[in-house]
Amino acid sequence: MLRLHTVVETKKPHPCGGKRWEIVRTGADYKIRCLTCGRVIMLTPDELLHRVRRIAEDA
């Protein structure tokens, strides 16, 4: 479901206003990149699942 390069939409927007993120790393920790400002944040898989509203684009 949440594979590398999948684009997801979060429930809460990033402070920059962006809601779409690309998954750039998977594993024990996930890294997602804001498609609006380019900032990368690290999350645990549980945190990511809580934040995601839907899959915007499948990889």
Residue 43 in the binding site for Zn ion (CB under 5 A): no
Rank residues 26 and 36 by Cβ distance to Zn ion and give the closer one: 36
- Which two structure tokens, joined as six digits, stand for 23? 């998954």
- Tell me how many degrees the CA angle 12-14-18 measures, rounded to the nearest 5: 95
Residue 55 in the binding site for Zn ion (CB under 5 A): no
Question: How many binding residues for Zn ion (CB under 5 A)?
Answer: 6
Assess contact for 23 and 3: CB atoms under 8 A.
yes
- The alpha-helical segments, DSSP class H, found in 1-59 are 45-51
CB of 18 to Zn ion, least distance (A): 4
Q: Given the rule CB under 5 A, which residues bind Zn ion? A: 14, 16, 18, 34, 36-37
